[in-house]
Amino acid sequence: MRILVLGGDGYLGWPTALHLSQRGHEVAVADNFVRRQYDLEMGVDSLVPIESLQTRAEVWHSVTGKTIEVHVGDLTDADFTYGTLRAFRPDTVVHFAEQRAAPYSMIDRKHAVYTQVNNVTGTLNLLYAIAEIDRDIHLVKLGTMGEYGTPNIDIEEGWLEVEHNGRRDRVLYPKRPGSFYHLSKVHDSHNIEFACRIWGLRATDLNQGVVYGQQTPETVLDDRLATRFDYDAVFGTVLNRFVIQAVLGHPLTVYGTGGQTRGILDIRDTVRCVQLACENPAAAGEFRVFNQMTQSLSVRRIAETVAECFPNDVEITRLDNPRVEREEHYYNVTHTGLVDLGLVPHLLSDTLITSLFDVAKRHAHRVRPRALSPRVHWRQSTSPVQQS
Ligand code: NAD
Ligand code: USQ
């Protein structure tokens, strides 16, 4: 297949592009490098040094003989979006290219507006480009488990059968997300479902849980193929942050009681799930949703697991929760769609955490300790994060 990976310079986009190329697909990546700009804005950097996208593609070619085409531009620029589709003529577009940090979207009005305009406009441009250029293109879009929130009923894969006043219907699962970022994904999901209905587009929305890990079989072939690893309180995700905190001898920062439960998955499963979605496309007109996660764990349990696996003593501390979220709740998620397509999950194991400790130890000298503390508070509409 010809597969275009949007957001191919990011944490997940790059290893996914490598995996798809290794599987024998013709791969192109597109990115506007705004993720590298957020680092400059926040005064942080990926824990693991990363090469430029062009260098990575050259190294991949020299290591494997395979080519990954690089396109540089912004999806909110419709000319770029249409031009890239016309130039590469993909069978499948994998769309990772969004601002993806909940705390970044909650800094203040400017960051909330930026997040929603960037994410919703980019996706709308893409939907129109597909509708006008080739309606047969399969869109594989990264959504998020956080679109659902934490309802007191089972979470189904995107759709819900309801009976109301004696009548039945199948409706999009009700959403109750927890940040302006997560809301942008809900808006995207509705726009994509509508495009499938009116234009007959084929789309898969991958509602992904929190990803952990840094290495895949392809990225370890050469240090220059490494993907980024974020540990700061804005872009770092929970398990990745706990690992670096343990290595530095800092307490693991559990927000609130830590009873909040999330779907999580290994980065090696992310790339495999995307591959499975690409190779088994949705039907014309179908808006297909998969819940892309392999395990549910409370934040408290994630912290305990990291502490149990680390060779030295680890302190776990409870911070006042900077977010507004339920800390004790029901959580039961259906996630059989990808398993039915052949996913064999990697479950969180000592081995994984130990290898992550090694990655963190190797680069611990690059940590900026001030970046570890949360400074974005959901209850405030402005935040000190920019001034400090
Ligand atoms: P990332 O920020 O590392 O990568 C996103 C990439 O998209 C960046 O390289 C960025 O420069 C690019 N980008 C953003 N806006 C763009 C635009 N307008 N035009 C062109 N390029 C643009 O994020 P990630 O962690 O790799 O996440 C990728 C996707 O997966 C996101 O959509 C995110 O919401 C979703 N997701 C991530 C996780 C996770 O734990 N990391 C979990 C669930 C879902
Ligand atoms: N948390 C802590 N301590 C920390 C960091 C986080 O207790 O030091 C808690 C948060 O309060 C939250 C949970 O851990 O309850 C997850 O937080 P996170 O920052 O790891 O993840 P989140 O903000 O939800 O966002 C991440 C990605 C996002 C993706 C989402 C998947 O940044 O792109 O969409 O995970 S999901 O959570 O399923 O929506």
How do the domains of the chain map onto residue ranges? 2-372
Ligand nearest to the backbone CA of 270: 1
Q: Which of 76, 173, 185, 253 is catalytic?
A: 185
What DSSP state is assigned to residue 37?
Answer: H
Residue ranges lining ligand 1, Cβ < 6 Å: 7, 9-13, 31-35, 74-76, 96-100, 118, 122, 142, 144, 208, 210-211, 237
Res 388: pLDDT: 43
Mean pLDDT for back-to-back runs of 10 residues, the chain (388 residues): 98 98 98 98 97 98 98 98 98 99 98 98 99 98 98 98 98 98 98 98 98 97 98 98 97 98 97 98 98 97 96 97 98 96 92 89 96 97 68
Tokens standing for residue 144: 């998020």
Q: Which of 144, 150, 237, 253 is catalytic?
A: 144
Res 113: pLDDT: 98
Tokens standing for residue 189: 């999901």
Question: Residue 145: CB within 6 Å of ligand 2?
Answer: yes
Q: How far is the CA of 246 from the centre of ligand 2 (A)?
A: 18
β-strand partners of 318: 254
Q: How far is the CA of 58 from the centre of ligand 2 (A)?
A: 33
Beta strands per DSSP E along 49-97: 68-72, 92-95
Ligand 1, pocket-test mutation among 45, 98, 212, most atoms within 8 A of CB: 98
Catalytic annotation present for 82: no
Q: Residues 2, 12, 60, 273: is their CA dihedral positive or negative?
A: negative
Question: Residue 238: CB within 6 Å of ligand 2?
Answer: yes
Cα distance between residue 227 and residue 223, in whole Å: 9
β-pairing, 316-319 with 252-255? parallel
Report the chain's terminal Cα–Cα distance, integer Å. 47
Cα distance between residue 60 and residue 68, in whole Å: 8
Residue nearest to atom 34 of ligand 2 (CA): 144
Q: How far is the CA of 187 from the centre of ligand 1 (A)?
A: 16
Catalytic annotation present for 64: no
Residue nearest to atom 1 of ligand 1 (CA): 10
Q: Which long-range contacts (CB under 8 A, 24 or more apart) does 356-359 make?
A: 356/212, 356/213, 356/214, 356/240, 356/243, 357/243, 357/246, 357/247, 357/309, 357/310, 359/47, 359/48, 359/214, 359/215, 359/229
Tokens standing for residue 25: 């697909």
Tokens standing for residue 238: 């929970």
Res 383: pLDDT: 79
Task: Given CATH 3.30.300.30, say whether it is the number of domain 2-372.
Answer: no
Atom of ligand 2 nearest to the CA of 102: 23
Cα distance between residue 17 and residue 22, in whole Å: 9
